[in-house]
Structure 1
Amino acid sequence: MPFFCYNAKIVTNTQQADMTTEQYLITGILIGTLLLFIWDKWRYDIVAMLALVVATLLGLVPQDTMFDGFGHPAVITVASILVISYALQYSGALEIVANWLRRFARHPSIQIFLLTGLVAIASGFMNNVGALALFLPVTIALAKRKKAHPGSMLMPVSFASLLGGTITLIGTPPNIIISGYREKYHHEPFAMFDFMPVGLAVTVIGVIYLSFIGWRFLPKRSAEESEEKSLAAASEYMTELRIPAENKYINRSLFRILKLCEGEAVNILSIIRGQRRILAPTQYEILREDDLLVVEGQPDAIQQLIDDSGLQMIDVKIDTDELVSEDVTIIEVIVGPDSMLIGRSASGVQLSANHGVNLMAISRRGQSIRQRLHRTLIRAGDVLLLQTGEDSLGEKLEFLGCLPLATRHIALGKVRKMWTTIAIFSIAILITSFTSLSSALTFTAAVGA
């Protein structure tokens, strides 16, 4: 949203503070923009761009400079930090945080205190919007595990991200903007931690209030109100996980795996041991090397189980020569009514060998799948999770008779580079803090790395 700055004007008793036509127009645009934000029918970025276009058409903003604001260091810095936040979200680091916070489920105030404290700290170093986006999945997962409405934890987290942004230079866009103006008129910008004396005190007091007092005033809602809406479109997949050699669960009971699944939407349907199939296994079943666990659940929950247990997804590597690269994608597709896959299995049609496509999981809403994954006969309306090269993806799906679903990030079976991502982000923060290089430059370089 554009910012407009006017020179201050002292008005005496003999002067009348009349607004000019341009000021009336700008005020009208700002009020209209705020009303559209409140209406919440259009996306915020579309509304903000519309305000800029209207201001330009009315001659309030010169046409040749209407996009200059997008080159402001604050915009570049925030955009770079959001990219880094996205990488951190899918690096696997948050799963460690979530598992730690789950230990305090019986003490809601302490759990909220730790969560909001982490959000506030992260907000100080990665922008409040990025920190909020980063911890949203963790917050919702913790609420689901407690069978509580997500709003009971999301509101404190939202306030904590705003408070934490006041600690450092890069914590919130206004700090960066003010620093830019200070450099312009006083030739010296604010340093990384110049905001800390005031910002840290405000943040600590705010987090303590939110954790032990504030959250108790939130409206009481049941978890069922949000669960049906938020998860209605999410498909549950059936896939197979193998127990590799030297896994810590070999010769242990299935009970230990089931403990990892507590609070997660994951079910273990059967165990395949050679030619033997154990349906609905009990918790006392002893696991062996190379056992296949047939599991069903949400992609994120299955990935969490993989990370915690060290199990491996089977057949998740592209076999064909032209696709032996890192340029692969995971996509959800629905089997069309005229698909060549209907009535055939993945092994029968030789998806990997003939088409360079790997079947990772199948979702058949309302029905349980009892056969092996690659021997399951595919039906019209099945949702498939496929791994394939991005080259000629459209042609492959058209030939198979499948339609892509709306894109959502799925990292099922993917190796996540947690420490690399954390190291890059930490180095960028250190360089910004202890050198004269601008935050826009260092974080843009971090995105490139």
Structure 2
Amino acid sequence: MTYDQIFLFTLLGLVFALLVWGRIRYDLVAFAALIVAVAGGVVPADHAFMGFGHEAVVIIALVLIVSRAMVNAGAVELVARFVLSAGRSLSTHIGIMSVVGAALSAVINNVAALVMLMTLDMEAAEKARRPVAQSLMPLSFATILGGMITMIGTPPNIVVAQFRDRALGAPFSMFDYSPVGLVCALVGIAFVTTIGWRLIPDTGKRATAGGGGETGLFVVEAGVKEGSKVIGRSPSDLYPLADEHDVSILGLVRRGKRLPGFAASEEIRKSDHLVLEGDPKSIEAFIGAAGLSPAGADEHGGLTGKSLTLVEAIVPDNARMVGRTALDLRLLYRRGVTLLGVSRQGRRFRERVRNLPIQPGDVVLLLGPESRVADAAEWLGVLPLAEKSHTVIQRSKALFTIAVFAIAVALAVAGLLPLAVALAGAVAVYALFSVVGPREVYEAVEWPVIVLLGSLIPLGLALEESGGTRLIAEAIVAQTGALPAWAILAILMVVTMTLSDFLNNVATALIAAPVGLSVARALDVSPDPFLMGVAVAASCAFLTPIGHKNNTIIMGPGGYRFGDYWRMGLPLELLILAVGVPAILFFWPL
């Protein structure tokens, strides 16, 4: 072996060891490895940062922003709310949620799809009084499977597509992954729906979807806007919808005055305000489902204006707002923020929220653009609670957001624009129409993944140019020379799956794709089945909570232990291998 090969094999071996160890962040490991490679002379200095301008990196970043826009506009919720029901059997619930999760993951980032659907799944588990662990893991696996269906569904598909472009002169297109991905996803969903969930051990953890936590329930006012579906109905007519969202309707405000009692039979009119009690996320969801408007939303430009956020904050003794009301402080006029609700140790009160004197120990709910809410909290002297910020969904933009995305994909598929340019155009439109705010554009991007990918691309290229990937391929072919090509493909997929269970799937795809190409060339067969096999296998991280971010996200809420994942994950990986290899060879012959 040459100096470059020995250096790169040693360096990448150390990188893999550190990634499996997991004590140092994977982006720092990859970036440090890149610097070492440059210092060692195996990566030219002028190529050190070429990976950060790679099209795969740009596409992954843009897909993450598009996913945030879909969530902000309620496009995901628009689909999901029609399938949530606590009355279904567990298998039926898992099947429906898995299909929806897989479908969403095919067009948006699978992490975003899981985060949105996970809340709904936990609500269903809480209402059905069953352990949430029974359905969370199947949902996570289904969103991972759904990502295999299109090029933008999961980062490994993007990495493999762009590698094919560099190696063979043309990338995989948006729907080249669909035939094999659909077969794997449908078979996988059938498994988790009928058998898989029965293999999950009882973690003993019940769902807690309310989200109110220690802050208790808030009393909030929501306005009845023109065209609202509640006009002409009574508060009692809305009780079933309120129960569905874990919200209580306390009364009705008309012309600035609270009507007597609960006003349960009073006909609701335009410009009335419903008085609600619940946790912020439940109230926000009920407001959207009932077609209401948060108090003060019109002054912020409405939900079609700037992206708004809800922030919970504790009122200390020395806060400016102690003993004063929102009207006294002229909070909206001075700071552009609305006092939407107040939580006071579970107490209910007759005063309107804007007229309620604030006391020490209260928890207030502030509504406004994120930057203004932060400034207002500092001015008021209140203490925002970490992890107690909620984005206000702009449901009126859901169809617009979906249409913009569909047009971008259509332009890319038709070959009129490169995918990166089409997605960039969609992001620009979303930013222009405030579907995502300026800060959210940057917050939506998982920068550690970008650093990882940008750092490993030059290393992977150096390994390939030094002949390192050819050596690995020759070793695989030499050890499996008596086997047919389909068996070698299966072995390559097993190795890739195993790596993906312990490493980041982007890193796995970056290393495995050149090896797959070299194996195909050594066997003198088409490289496409091997590249497709790498893409499928790199996404199949079902054995551990560290192989895929979705598995990590559900670990806490589901109460899972590290060793719980393989119980359903191992048979699922074997099943994907059993159906994936024939499907790949059928649609992508050798």
- Taking structure 2 as the reference length, the TM-score comes to 0.63
Code of the residue aligned with 2:220 in structure 1: it is: T
2:10 counterpart residue number? 24
1:308-359 CA-to-partner distances (Å, cap 9, x unmatched) read 2223333334499xxxx84876544332321221112122333334554422
2:355 counterpart residue number? 375
* Aligned partner of residue 276 in structure 2, secondary structure: strand
* Aligned partner of residue 140 in structure 2, secondary structure: helix
1:405 counterpart residue number? 385
1:222-257 CA-to-partner distances (Å, cap 9, x unmatched) read 554x52996536663211123456654445443321
Larger displacement relative to structure 2 (136-145 or 376-385): 136-145
Code of the residue aligned with 1:358 in structure 2: it is: T
User: Is 1:121 paired with 2:103?
Assistant: yes
2:498 counterpart residue number? none
1:42-84 CA-to-partner distances (Å, cap 9, x unmatched) read 6xxx332234214524645645544332322222212111111
* 8 Å Cα contact 2:234/2:268 also seen in 1: no
Matches within 5 A, 1:362-441: 362-388=342-368, 396-406=376-386, 409-412=389-392, 416-435=396-415, 437-441=417-421
CA distance in 2, matches of 1:389, 1:332: 14
Cα offset for 1:259?
0.3
Question: Would you tell me which structure has more helix in proportion to its own residues?
Answer: 2
Cα offset for 1:205?
1.0
* Aligned partner of residue 95 in structure 2, secondary structure: helix
* Aligned partner of residue 359 in structure 2, secondary structure: coil
1:154 counterpart residue number? 136
Matches within 5 A, 1:34-183: 34-36=20-22, 46-57=25-36, 59=39, 62=43, 64-103=46-85, 105-183=87-165
* 8 Å Cα contact 2:215/2:343 also seen in 1: no
* 8 Å Cα contact 1:123/1:171 also seen in 2: yes
CA distance in 2, matches of 1:221, 1:184: 47
* Aligned partner of residue 70 in structure 1, secondary structure: helix
Classify 1:135/1:66 alpha carbon distance in 2 versus 1 (closer, same or farther; 3 Å). farther
Cα offset for 1:407?
6.1
Code of the residue aligned with 1:306 in structure 2: it is: I
* 8 Å Cα contact 1:300/1:412 also seen in 2: no
1:425-446 CA-to-partner distances (Å, cap 9, x unmatched) read 1112212222163322221221
* 8 Å Cα contact 2:308/2:392 also seen in 1: no
Code of the residue aligned with 1:443 in structure 2: it is: L
1:300 counterpart residue number? 281
CA distance in 2, matches of 1:232, 1:276: 28
Larger displacement relative to structure 2 (230-239 or 23-32): 230-239
Q: Pick from 240, 250, 256 the counterpart of residue 269 of structure 1.
A: 250
Cα offset for 1:408?
5.3
Q: Pick from 204, 218, 232 the counterpart of residue 213 of structure 2.
A: 232
CA distance in 2, matches of 1:82, 1:294: 36
CA distance in 1, matches of 2:160, 2:383: 49
CA distance in 1, matches of 2:35, 2:61: 24
Classify 1:195/1:103 alpha carbon distance in 2 versus 1 (closer, same or farther; 3 Å). same
Backbone CA RMSD of aligned residues: 3.3
Cα offset for 1:258?
0.8
2:322 counterpart residue number? 342
* 8 Å Cα contact 1:360/1:387 also seen in 2: yes
Classify 1:337/1:246 alpha carbon distance in 2 versus 1 (closer, same or farther; 3 Å). same
1:214 counterpart residue number? 196
Cα offset for 1:414?
5.3
Task: Report the count of equivalent residues.
Answer: 418
User: Is 1:309 paired with 2:290?
Assistant: yes
* 8 Å Cα contact 1:33/1:48 also seen in 2: no
CA distance in 2, matches of 1:392, 1:128: 31
* Aligned partner of residue 100 in structure 1, secondary structure: coil
Code of the residue aligned with 1:48 in structure 2: it is: D
Code of the residue aligned with 1:154 in structure 2: it is: L
* Aligned partner of residue 107 in structure 2, secondary structure: helix
CA distance in 1, matches of 2:388, 2:427: 21
* 8 Å Cα contact 1:85/1:134 also seen in 2: no
Larger displacement relative to structure 2 (123-132 or 154-163): 123-132
Classify 1:83/1:142 alpha carbon distance in 2 versus 1 (closer, same or farther; 3 Å). farther
Q: Pick from 240, 256, 259 the counterpart of residue 259 of structure 1.
A: 240
CA distance in 2, matches of 1:172, 1:354: 45
* 8 Å Cα contact 1:319/1:353 also seen in 2: no
* 8 Å Cα contact 1:424/1:446 also seen in 2: yes
CA distance in 1, matches of 2:212, 2:133: 15
CA distance in 2, matches of 1:64, 1:235: 57
* Aligned partner of residue 314 in structure 2, secondary structure: strand
Cα offset for 1:298?
1.9
* 8 Å Cα contact 1:105/1:146 also seen in 2: yes
Cα offset for 1:373?
0.6
1:353-394 CA-to-partner distances (Å, cap 9, x unmatched) read 455442222223443344211111101232222345677766
Larger displacement relative to structure 2 (81-90 or 304-313): 304-313
Larger displacement relative to structure 2 (302-311 or 202-211): 302-311
Code of the residue aligned with 1:27 in structure 2: it is: G
Classify 1:230/1:222 alpha carbon distance in 2 versus 1 (closer, same or farther; 3 Å). farther
* Aligned partner of residue 313 in structure 2, secondary structure: strand
* Aligned partner of residue 270 in structure 1, secondary structure: strand
2:472 counterpart residue number? none
Classify 1:47/1:296 alpha carbon distance in 2 versus 1 (closer, same or farther; 3 Å). same
